Structure formats: C-alpha cells, structure tokens
Amino acid sequence: MQISVVRPADLGRAEIDAWHAMQDQTESLANPFLCPEFAVVIGRSQPAARVAVLTDSTGPVGFFAFERGRLGAAAPIGAGLSDCQGLVHVPGFEWEPAELLKGCGISAWHFDHLVAGQQPFGRFQAATASSPVIDLTRGFGAYHDDSLARSPRFWRDLGRKTRKIEREAGALKLAVDAADVEDLRTLMSWKSDQYLRTGRSDRFDQPRIVQVVENLMAYRTGAFRGLLSILYAGGAPVAGHFGIAYGGVLAEWFPAYDTRYAKYSPGLIQLVRMTEEIGTLGIRSIDLGKGEMRYKEELKSYDLTVAEGTVTRPSALAALHWAAAAPPRWAVRRIRQHPGLYGAADRVLKGVGRIRVAMRPAR
C-alpha cells in the first residue's frame, strides 16, 4: 500500500468517482460528512485540510480526510462540524493504523464521531454513543404508523400544537428545498440566538463556518447537496433546518426556530413536515446525530453507534496527545452517563446563557 497526501482541491475526477464508489458499496460509509465534496468545501477555508489517498496495484483503495494540528496531532476534516468520521475504503480492506498515521505525517488522530465498522481503529475507542436515525425506506406512512405506536402522546401533543399555530399564526407551508440565501441567514441568526441562550459557543460568530455553510448550500453536484428547509406560518418563516445529503441519507445539522413562536414547538413541526415531504427528493433516512435529546428518542426508528477516542502510533508526541485528551474525555463521558450531572451541567450553561442574553446590546 502507498499513501499520498494532497489538498482536497487537488483531487481529480477519477479519485472523486472512486471515493463515491467506495461509499456506495458500504452502507455505513454513505454519509454526507464522509463525502469528498464536504472535504473540498472545508478545504476552501481550512488551510490545514488534507486527504490521504491509499493505493495498491489495483488503484485507490481508501481515502482518509483530516486536518493537521500542532505538534503532529490531527483531527477529522471539519472538526467540530462533522458528525461522521473515518476512513472510506473498498469492501474488505484492512489497514494498520500506525502505518496510516505515518503515511499522513501525523502522530495522533483525535475523533469524536467515528463511524461503525472501522475495526482497525477499534482498540483506540474510549467511548461510544448512540446516533438516532429516522428510517423512511418504507415511506412516511409506514414510519408514522410505527412511531405513533411507540410514542402516541408525542404525536397527539404535536398535532394539537400544529392546529394551534395554524389558528393563531396562519396556514403552514414548508419549502422542503429552499433556495434563498436570505432564508439561510435567517436560520443562522436563530441558531446564534439559541447558542447564546443555552450558554454554548456561537458557531456562526465565526466567518469561516458561515462561509462553509453558504458554500454547501450552493453545492449541487451529483448525489451530494446542501439542503435548506423552511417552515412558514401565515407567510412568515418560523423554523428551519440546514443539512447535507448524499444519495438517500440526510444528516440533520442546524435546526432552529424563531423564539416568538416557541410555544407551538415550530422546530418539531418543521422536522416532521420535512420528514413527510423529503421522500420526493429521494431521501430514505435522516441521521439525527448523537446527543441525548427527547425529540430524537421520540422520533427515531433505530440507533447507529459512533465512537470517540485517539488513534496513536508509538512516539513521545503521541503519548503526550493521548494524555492531554484522556481527562476531559473521561469527564464528558461521566457527565453524559449520569443524568444528575448532565442536568446540572445543562442548567449551568443555560444560566450563563440568560446572563449573556441580558447583556446583549439592544437591536
């Protein structure tokens, strides 16, 4: 096996076609975050973005997208944004992690959403988490019947709120594939407000991330696309979602809503309406991403499993990176596993959010 490292923009048509062929042959790899287009868009604003091209006598056998960091460390391409990570490869391909890292010129690779099935990375996993999925392969009707049987109260409450918003705010209309960039900017503004309220770091305060999202919305090439959905009530936008899709898979990414309509749960209404209509675009599953949220548990069909950890090769730098990553990863894992700790941490963040909202200059 030979490994060559290139910038994402330097990938040729033949390499991109080979990359997609590998994704199409293994269901777990057919995720939009693992697509070459995602790597190319990230590479436009991230100078450290690289792709390792693995070849043997038959041609390309794998692609590994990553971002170089300090002191020999690396992260997945689009670190902090990507909800699915790993090496895209031909079926049955086995690799040696130390050889891969050496060929990439790195000593450690940190991951937090490693896709299932990456057996050579198995011994480096520190924890796993569930990533809920909505299954639409049998159509929305069959999905709805199954979900209603599991969560009748959820659907009953959602129906009541849907009727209420239509009475009080006007008829609902969903643009399942909106094209207006101003709608996207409205969504990003809502999301920034959500980050502020909940004490989280505002991703859209970073021009690089805004550029990535806007570039992805404009992407219309083959089976890969950015997808913006907006819900209107009485002609006014009240909720929306931006994600990326590949083939039949949509990755839920940035959902948000106008807080003036919060009592109607417009975000949930938007998600369900989108789930109902998105089959017209060929979508057969929605990956909701990891994270313990009630709506995901209510709406999911099943769970995928993703992992976090650090791949290393024998070196002093690798040991240093592992030691630095282990304590915070352990703390986060403990908080996630303990409902009391998780609730306390969430309350602290929301308290910080209330202070930040109160201190925000008037618009």
Residue 51 and residue 96 share a domain: yes
Q: Which burial class, exposed, middle or buried, applies to 30 when counting CB atoms under 10 A from its CB (0-12, 13-18, 19+)?
A: buried
CA end-to-end span of the chain, whole Å? 58
Same structural domain, 50 and 77: yes
Tokens 């989108």 map to which residue? Answer: 274
Residue 292: what pLDDT?
A: 83
Same domain, residue pair 116 and 27: yes
Nearest residue to 213 (alpha-carbon basis) of 249, 186, 236, 173: 186
Partner residues linked to 243 by β-bridges = 227
- Domain assignment present for 212: yes
Q: Is residue 322 part of a domain?
A: yes
Residue 291's pLDDT is what?
85
> 289 in a domain, yes or no?
no
Structure letter (DSSP) for residue 176: T
Q: What DSSP string runs through 222-234? A: TTEEEEEEEEEET
Chain segment 103-145, per-residue pLDDT in tens: 999 999 999 999 999 999 999 999 999 999 999 999 999 999 9
pLDDT at 335: 44
Query: Could you tell me if residue 157 is inside a domain?
Result: yes
Give me the pLDDT at residue 200, please: 87
The reply to whether 6 and 98 lie within a common domain is yes
Q: What is the pLDDT of residues 233-273, one digit of tens each?
A: 999 999 999 999 999 999 999 999 999 999 999 999 999 99
Whether 193 maps to a domain, the answer reads: yes
So what's the pLDDT on residue 315? 56
Query: Tell me, what DSSP letter sits at residue 280?
Result: G
CATH number at residue 79: 3.40.630.30
Residue 253 lies in a domain: yes
Same domain? For 241 and 331 the reply is no
Q: What angle do CA 32, 111, 300 make, to 5 degrees?
A: 50
pTM: 0.87
Residue 120 lies in a domain: yes
Please tell me the distance from the alpha carbon of residue 39 to that of residue 41, in angstroms, as a whole number: 6
Residues 6+ away with beta carbon under 8 Å from 262 = none
State the residue range of the domain holding 97: 2-130+305-343
Closest Cα partner for 286 from 268, 300, 297?
300
**215 & 329 share domain:** no
Provide the 8-state DSSP code for 105.
Answer: T
Residues 6+ apart with CB under 8 A from 304: 28, 116, 130, 131, 132, 133, 287
| Count of the separate structural domains present in the chain | 2
CATH number at 181 reads: 3.40.630
Q: Determine, yes or no, domain membership for 66.
A: yes
Judge if 204 and 330 occupy the same domain: no
pLDDT at 331: 44
Are 35 and 79 part of one and the same domain? yes
Q: Are residues 260 and 155 in the same domain?
A: yes
Residue 65 shares a structural domain with residue 154: no
**How confident is the prediction along the chain (363 residues), in pLDDT tens digits per residue?**
899 999 999 999 999 999 999 999 999 999 999 999 999 999 999 999 999 999 999 999 999 999 999 889 999 999 999 999 999 999 999 999 999 999 999 999 999 999 999 999 999 999 999 999 999 999 999 999 999 999 999 999 999 999 999 999 999 999 999 999 999 999 999 999 999 988 889 999 999 999 999 999 998 778 999 999 999 999 999 999 999 999 999 999 999 999 999 999 999 999 999 999 999 999 999 999 998 899 999 999 999 999 999 999 875 455 554 555 544 544 444 444 445 434 544 454 445 444 444 444 444
Do 94 and 215 sit in the same domain of this protein?
no
Q: Which of 235, 250, 283 is the last residue of a domain?
A: 283
- Regarding whether 260 and 318 lie in a shared domain, the answer is no
